[in-house]
Structure formats: C-alpha cells, structure tokens
Structure 1
C-alpha cells in the first residue's frame, strides 16, 4: 500500500471504531420519553418554561416591568418556539442523514448508528411536540422564506455541509438545555426532556464532528470557503427562527417594543456567544471559520 492508501484505511477503521462505540453507548444510555416523563402530572402555575436568564428579554427594562405571570408565560412560549424550531430542523436532519446512508453497507457500524440517530430524532420530535401540547402552547413555525431555504438545504446539502448544519443546530441547543435541565424553577417536563435530549444528542454531535473531520481532510481552499459560508448561513437562519416574534404578543407585550429591546439586549448577546464558544473552536480547528463566515455569525451574536 502507498502511504496515502494506508492512511485512508486507518481513517476508515478509526471512524468505524468510533461509530461502534457510539452504538454501544446508545444501547446502554438511551431514554424512552413516554416512560421518563410524567405526562399526566399537572403543571405548577409558577414554574418557568426555561431559566429566566435564557429569556430573550431578561435584563431589559421591559423585563423589569413585566408581571411574574407574564414572565412565566413568555418563557413557556419561548421554550416551545425553540422546541418547534428543533422539530423543524430534526426533520431536515433525518432526511439528510438517511440520504447520506443510501445504498451503503448496512453491516457497517456507521450505517447502523446513522439509523439509530434517526430513531432518536423521531422520539425527540414527538417528545417536544407533546411537551408543547402539555403546556398549551400552539406550534410555532419558521417564516416562509426560511422554510423554503430549509427545503432546498435538506435536498441538496451533502458531506461537510450537511453535517455542519446538523452540528450548529445541535450545539446551540445543547448549552441552553444543560442549564434548563438543572433549573430549579423550570417545569419538570422541560427539565426531563432537556436531560434526554442532552444525553442522546451528545452522541449525535460526536458523529457529526467525525463526519466533518473526515470530509474536510482533503478539501481544497475553494470548497472550504464555500462550505464555511454555507454552514454559517444555515446557522443564521436557525438562530433567527429560534424565538418566534409571536411569543411576545402571547405574553401580552407590545411586539414592536419587545423586539427593539431584544435587539439591544447585551445580556442575550453574551449568552448566545457563550453557548457557541465550543462550536466556534471546532469550526476554527476544521478550517470552517473563515472571515466571511465569521461576519455571518457575528450578525446573530454567535461570536
């Protein structure tokens, strides 16, 4: 074997070993939301939907003026908007992963873990949908333009673009949910669903990172710059759709004023940057944090 061929074989073996370990982890540590969550328990009136610090209005003059009932209502609508965005992107994710595994060797651990991931995402989407229904919050949807962009992305994205899009969505939510699952004044239904999602998504993120590393190993400069820009564009679409503007009216607030205060909210911007720090380190490591991509991330306070 030549040196490059030997390295390729070694890389394939390493990837297969990694996928096998993820499969073993899934066998030992996975959850059934129908059993783990008490869907019949009444919801306490004064528990938040997410830690107040993660509310888009926390730290603003408007937040200080709001009643406690409005704060509770707002955070419940915010978390359901984020869950709805999660469902939307998990459906995109499932289609991209399934397409990536089309006519591949089903005996490979990577193939089997990909299907395991799809099964996990199906359960997560149902879990989020039931949680929002339990909270009595209507479904929130991405705006029309974003929905059409998502349709194109799930149809066309491949390789590092597909897994990069998957990773940015999962990384942003992961940091938030690690706080929510420990929030003493957060609804149990949100704490438990967050715990389930964090544990199982940690495997998905490892898989996505490995796929990105594999695809980026021999990528040229032109493709690297194009991929970095596309992944950043996907990230901006996700972030802009996470909290639907309708959540403010649902809490009895003036939407125009609320949005103005959100745009000026330095606390929210700092929370976003902190939640994306690990993601930015990884993108930099893999050559996907170019100057144009950084400019896009900066538009939505990810850097």
Structure 2
C-alpha cells in the first residue's frame, strides 16, 4: 500500500495549521476545576458511560446483572479508561516535549506543542479527580505494558510517535462523543468528556499534520516499520483500557466476565466503528500495511 500524501508539503503548511490551532485555543478552552461541578451528588441510577459501551453489554452475563451491578461496572470501566488515558497522556507529553527540544520557540509549531502539553496536564488532573470523586482508585496498566510504554516514549520519533498519539486520542474521542450526550450518564462524566473532546480535537489535528510532514518522501522501509510500531502501540493501549479487575469490583465472577467480554461481538462492532476514521487516515498515509492490519484485527479495530 502506498501513501497518497503530497510530497511537496512545506514547513509553512504546518505553521499555518499550528497558528490556526493557537487561535482556537484562545477562543475556546476550559478550566476543568471551574467547569465541572465536583460537589454535585452522584445519582445512584446513572452510569459511568453509555451502557452500550460496556464491555459486557449484550452478553448473557449482562442480562443476569442487577441494575446496581451495571451502574457499578460502567463506573469502574470509565475510571479504568480514564486511568489508561492518564498513563498515555504522560507518555505523550514526554514525546512531544522531546520532539520540540531546542526548537524555534518563535514558531507556531513550538508554541502549540507546549500548549498541548499544558492541556494534557489539566486533562490528567481532571481524570484523576473524576475517579476520586466517584470513589474509585486508579487502575494501573499491566507491568509488561508499563515497560513497553517506557520504551515507546523513549524511542518513538516523528511519524511513529505522533501515530501512537493519534491512535489513543481518536479511539477515546469517539467514545466520549457518545458519553457527553448520554442522558443516563453521570453529569461528571458528561462534562469531563465534553472538555476532553473539544480540546483533543485540536491535538488530533496537530498530530495528523505532524505525521503528514514527517511522512512526505520517506522510504518504504521506514513507512512499513512505522506502520507496525503504531499498530503495536495501539494494541498495548486498547488492551489496557478496561482492567480485568473492574468485573470483581461489580461483584461478578472475574473469569467468566473476562471470557464473555473477550467474545462480545457487540463490543467488537463498537470498536470497529470507533476506528473507521482513524483507519482511513492511516490508509491514506500508507500506514495500514498487511502486518499492521493483522495487529489491528486482534483488537477489533478493523
């Protein structure tokens, strides 16, 4: 598969995009500590995320669960996803900061990159406070995933780094667009989702532009290598989104819940749907190679 990107992309293209993004930041940004009603009581009947996004929705086990168990499960699932978001946002911040090290601080690229890092710091604090408000402790990724993340943030550069960033942001973006509109979802989750969606849309635009710039004119070997690395990063991120311990927290048989979640065709369809725009972009970049697509299939993104 070959890239359809324009090989004549210039530095001014990226500068124009970043300048527009900085204007957007000035026009519309949020302070989560002020925008979220942290003191509002939590309605015991409201979910942590739209039930349709639960990993068990549509399974036999879901049908057996009490309404209280369903609410509890979705709250733990959303906190697990938020915890994974914090983990990857910390990786993201280090990669972006390294990418901009000793760059031209007068450029719009540099200034938006640092703005993105500031956004991510606020988002991480927002997610952490949301989980604490729901009375749920952070879910930590598996040890192997932590070490793989450590390696990725240290070694990934250029299109691979921004590709990994884009994967994490795109998947969560589709989910949160549903959560922010969910009438049966906690207002706390709806508001934090809205803030994240609005501000991450700028981050995704920046990541796409950085990828276009870095992909222009690269060798086939480098493109194929980046494609596989981005896919592996996606697998690590997605496989850690919902920690297996969320099922025990809802009073469920953990082993049975893990089996049913793994075979839940409804959730597989939701994941493929949420990944359509991302896969189209990666294909356009020449980054949806056969080996990469095989990795994405293991997590139901294609």
Q: Any unmatched runs of 5+ in structure 1?
A: 1-6
Deviation, structure 1 residue 8: 8.6
- TM-score, L = length of structure 1: 0.97
Counterpart of 2:134?
135
CA RMSD in angstroms, aligned pairs only = 1.0
Counterpart of 1:226?
225
Counterpart of 1:279?
278
CA distance in 1, matches of 2:268, 2:212: 29
CA distance in 2, matches of 1:50, 1:227: 33
Q: Note closer, same or farther for the CA distance 1:172–1:9 as it changes in structure 2 (3 Å cut).
A: closer
CA distance in 1, matches of 2:32, 2:9: 38
Q: Note closer, same or farther for the CA distance 1:103–1:8 as it changes in structure 2 (3 Å cut).
A: farther
Deviation, structure 1 residue 14: 1.4
Deviates more, 1:8-17 or 1:30-39: 8-17
CA distance in 2, matches of 1:64, 1:124: 34
The 3-state SS of whatever aligns with 2:43 is coil
| Residues 1:99 and 2:107 aligned together | no
The 3-state SS of whatever aligns with 1:242 is coil
Deviation, structure 1 residue 22: 0.2
Deviation, structure 1 residue 82: 0.1
CA distance in 2, matches of 1:114, 1:161: 16
The 3-state SS of whatever aligns with 2:80 is helix
Counterpart of 1:3?
none
| Residues 1:299 and 2:298 aligned together | yes
CA distance in 2, matches of 1:14, 1:88: 31
The 3-state SS of whatever aligns with 1:63 is helix
Counterpart of 1:66?
65
Counterpart of 2:45?
46
Question: Higher relative CO (CA 8 A, sep ≥ 6), structure 1 or 2?
Answer: 2
Counterpart of 2:188?
189
Q: Any unmatched runs of 5+ in structure 2?
A: 1-5
Aligned length: 297
Counterpart of 2:15?
16
- TM-score, L = length of structure 2: 0.97
CA distance in 2, matches of 1:263, 1:242: 13
Deviation, structure 1 residue 9: 8.7
CA distance in 2, matches of 1:40, 1:242: 27
Deviation, structure 1 residue 121: 0.2
CA distance in 2, matches of 1:83, 1:178: 15
Deviation, structure 1 residue 15: 1.0
Q: Note closer, same or farther for the CA distance 1:65–1:8 as it changes in structure 2 (3 Å cut).
A: closer
CA distance in 1, matches of 2:14, 2:208: 11
CA distance in 2, matches of 1:143, 1:101: 30
CA distance in 2, matches of 1:95, 1:254: 38
More helix by share: 1
| Residues 1:265 and 2:250 aligned together | no
CA distance in 1, matches of 2:284, 2:159: 14
Counterpart of 2:145?
146
The 3-state SS of whatever aligns with 2:104 is coil
Deviates more, 1:293-302 or 1:212-221: 212-221
CA distance in 2, matches of 1:244, 1:179: 21
Deviation, structure 1 residue 218: 1.0
Does the 8 A contact of 2:170 with 2:204 survive in 1?
A: yes
Counterpart of 1:202?
201
CA distance in 1, matches of 2:244, 2:59: 17
